[in-house]
Amino acid sequence: MVKWTEEERETIRSVWEKVDIDETGPQLIARALIVYPWTERYFGTFGDIFTTSAILSNAKVAAHGKVVLRALDRAVKNLDNMNETYAALSRLHYENLNVDPDNFRLLADCITITIACKLKAALDPQVQATWQKFLSAVVDAMNSQYK
Amino acid sequence: MVEWTDAERSAITTLWSNIDVGEIGPQALTRLLIVFPWTQRYFGTFGDLSTASAIAANPKVASHGKVVMGGLEIAVKNLDNIKNAYAKLSVMHSEKLHVDPDNFRLLAECISVCVAAKFGPSVFTAGFQEAWQKFLAVVVSALGRQYH
């Protein structure tokens, strides 16, 4: 199980409270689809996601970004219990959605980039280190039910 | 060989022309050493890297950051020939410096975080991010090319 210092917990909370799900959510999946185009394969029911402008104006893409961030909120609130918190989601992504788990790492990178754009210098190296530790714990939790 | 769209070329050169190597280079290397602490093993001659503040204040880190970031200029000026342009640097990192090539990807990630933090979402749009990260991925691949 991951150990968190008091300082790390405080850092994660303070980064998270600066994230506006309605603002950041839409950017998130859009960036993943644009920067890593093979991820489009998972969103066959989303309509037109084949050009940058289509992706950026796609309502389902925007909505799904918010869904992902709301799930991330559960990780922030369950730092000591991430594997159990994400067990059902992990199983869903493995058994139903058949998502290659390497994509969790790529999505985590997009989250960090989006937050860096917004927080700028406030995402200083130490904060970045803690935030990326948090995201890699989330990625591990998402991997936990994969065999 | 890598194919670049006109939009990608334009994004890369626009970002590069607004990047101050002396500003972003030190930040990127500092972040690498703090976020991925095992990378400190390559900088044994740099003095005090024992804490985040020591790293952030270390003049050798700052000047080496500039050198590394400046090395990206070669790629920007040789977009259609990055693999060959980096052949010697790749040999050096493999045979002399013995750098695990996975670390190139980590440094590229840190550079992207610095660029995102500097430009914000209206300049570092999804389209620009795609071009920039593709560019860095090609550089990373070229640096790993001569490893055997």
The 10s digit of each residue's pLDDT in B19-37 is 999 999 999 999 999 999 9
Q: What is the pLDDT of residues A9-45, one digit of tens each?
A: 999 999 999 999 999 999 999 999 999 999 999 999 9
Residue for token digits 């795609």? B130
- Tokens representing A20 are 């506006």
pLDDT for res A147: 78
Inter-residue contact B130 to A40 (CB < 8 Å): no
CB contact under 8 A, A125 and B55: yes
Phi–psi pair at A2, nearest 5 degrees:
-75, 140
Q: How many contacts (CB atoms, under 8 Å) link A and B?
A: 65
Identify the pLDDT of residue B147.
Answer: 86
Chain A residue whose CA is closest to B108: A109
A112·B129 Cβ contact <8 A: no
- Which residue from A145, A146, A13 is spatially nearest to A79, judged by alpha carbons? A13
- Quick: pLDDT tens for B89-144: 999 999 998 899 999 999 999 999 999 999 999 999 999 999 999 999 999 999 99
Residue owning tokens 């989601």: A89
Q: Is 90 exceeded by the pLDDT of residue A1?
A: no
Nearest residue in B to A133, CA atom: B35
Q: Do A34 and B126 touch (CB under 8 A)?
A: yes
Residue A2: what pLDDT?
86
pLDDT at A135: 97
Strand locations in A1-147, DSSP E?
Answer: none
Report the pLDDT value the prediction gives residue A134, as an integer from 0 to 100.
97
Return the residue in B5, B38, B129, B136 with the most chain A beta carbons within 10 A, the one to mutate for interface testing: B129
From B56, B118, B126, residue closest to A35, measured CB to CB: B126
- The pLDDT, as a whole number, for residue B1 is 75
| The predicted structure's pLDDT at residue A117 | 95
- Contacts A114 to B, Cβ<8 Å: 116, 121
Share of chain B above pLDDT 90, in %: 91
Return the pLDDT at B71. 92
How many alpha carbons fall within 13 Å on the CB side of residue A32?
26
Q: What is the pLDDT of residue A52?
A: 93
Query: If pLDDT is split at 50, 70 and 90, which confidence band does B146 have?
Result: confident
Residue B148 has pLDDT above 90, yes or no: no
Q: Indicate the pTM of the whole model.
A: 0.86
> Which one of A52, A120, A129 has the shortest CB-CB distance to B127?
A52
